[in-house]
Amino acid sequence: MKLGVIADDFTGASDIALTIAEAGMTVAQFSGVPDAGRSDVDAGVVALKSRTAPVADAIAQSVAACDWLIGQGAKQIIFKVCSTFDSTPQGNIGPVLDALADRLGAGPVIVCPAFPENGRSVYMGQLFVGDVPLNESGMQDHPLTPMTDADLRRVLAAQSHRPVTHIAAPTVWSGADAIRDALPDRGHVIVDAIRDDDLRTIGLAALGLPLLCGGSGIALGLPANFGATPSMPHWTPVTTRGVVLSGSCSRATRAQVAAFRKDAPALEVTVDAIVAGDITPQTVVNWILVQSVAPLVYSSADPDDVAAAQAKHGSDTAARAIETLFADVARALVDAGFGRIVVAGGETSGAVVTALDARALDIGPRIAAGVPMVRIAGFDVALALKSGNFGDVDFFAKALAQMAGD
């Protein structure tokens, strides 16, 4: 193994695994820290469910993943975070990044969540989604990690005990040597990137650095440092029954839900109904089984509805109710012969993958920027694990079709 990735959620893990696979490396994605060694791949991606875990737990899981990857021979570690840098003032990005830097003895750590293909760019230290600052993009309404500041320097400095500095776009445009010359001896460095070419330049500048942090775009230029050349991941179609499970409340997902509902049966589940026992995994499964086409089950409510549910039940209870329901439903559907499952939302995806005991995933071709098809290793079950804001409005239908080879 040459390159190791620690991802703080499951959709992010699939996202960066696709980037590395398309750049020509063989990649395996693991659900949690594996029990056994793996030496037959160029890159390993360890998917954790640590983005919103207690800080101490997130650190412990991430350091354990780092130790395993280094034990497999990884020469460089990426701490993969969301391209919207989701993190509260208490963490978990800063504390985990500090712990990894300490474990690896890292000096400067390049930090860049830019993903230009999906509209995420970093300019003058500010994170933009499309043409608006992060805190005006809808992320300010995120139910678990609301992002109210677009300045990554302030966001990270509030969480880290290391100094946070910045390398601006003109330096990046001057080339990899200019970036290397601008790196400090120690600390975290926010590096601007507004184009894929910027990320490739950053990748070249990162040659030999033990640790980086960013979205999936941070990996665009890294495989070439290890001699890899671009290639297309292999895929064998899965044609068994399909379903869409949406636990994301992002603007993009709500639009995707609205579009898919026009042509497919849809069932909305709410926290109130789950807590009251009016909706159970079995009632949802029974409803799905009688549908003649791939249906949608969703809890993708508007921000005001989410806030009301959190106020009534508590944010942890509300989130756990939704995640547990979808996890139980997914497990029952696989037992019933379903082989294509589209999941929207990072936390929901993590719950589903855990419930299916999907210890390793094989990475297939892309459905949309940052979203590959994946297959549970050793089983004929295909998944599409989508971060909330990713994908076009027709993503659900496209994912189901592509998994079937259509």
Task: Find the angle CA(9)-CA(287)-CA(397) to the nearest 5 degrees.
Answer: 55
226, pLDDT greater than 80: yes
Other C-beta atoms closer than 10 Å to the C-beta of 249 total 25
Average pLDDT of the chain is 93
Q: Which H or E run includes 382?
A: strand 382-386
CATH assignment of 242-403, among 3.40.50.2000, 3.40.980.20, 3.50.50.60, 3.40.630.30: 3.40.980.20
Amino acid letter, 327:
A
Q: Which H or E run includes 45?
A: strand 43-47
Say what the pLDDT of residue 306 is.
73
25, pLDDT greater than 90: yes
Say what the pLDDT of residue 378 is.
83
Q: With contact defined as beta carbons under 8 Å apart, do 193 and 214 qualify?
A: no
22, pLDDT greater than 80: yes
Q: Which string of DSSP letters, residue by residue, matches 254-265?
A: HHHHHHHHTTS-
315, pLDDT greater than 80: no
SS3 114: coil
301, pLDDT greater than 80: no
Q: What are phi and psi of 175, to 5 degrees?
A: 115, 170
d(CA 298, CA 146): 21
Q: What are phi and psi of 316, to 5 degrees?
A: -65, -45
Q: Which among 193, 166, 196 has a CA at the least distance from the CA of 182?
A: 166
Q: Which H or E run includes 342?
A: strand 340-344
Q: Report, in angstroms and rounded to the nearest whole number, the Rg of the chain calculated over CA atoms.
A: 20
> What band does 146 get if pLDDT is binned at 50, 70 and 90?
confident
Q: How many CA atoms lie within 13 A of 23 on its CB side?
A: 26
Say what the pLDDT of residue 101 is.
98
23, pLDDT greater than 80: yes
Task: Find the angle CA(223)-CA(197)-CA(208) to the nearest 5 degrees.
Answer: 40
Amino acid letter, 224:
A
Annotated domain spans of the chain: 3-226, 242-403
Say what the pLDDT of residue 132 is.
93
Q: With contact defined as beta carbons under 8 Å apart, do 340 and 403 qualify?
A: yes
| Pairing outcome for strands 108-112 and 211-214 | parallel
Q: With contact defined as beta carbons under 8 Å apart, do 204 and 159 qualify?
A: no
Statement: 3-226 belongs to CATH 3.30.565.10: no
313, pLDDT greater than 80: no
> What is this structure's pTM?
0.80
Per mean pLDDT, which range of 83-92, 148-157, 178-187, 238-247 is the poorest? 83-92
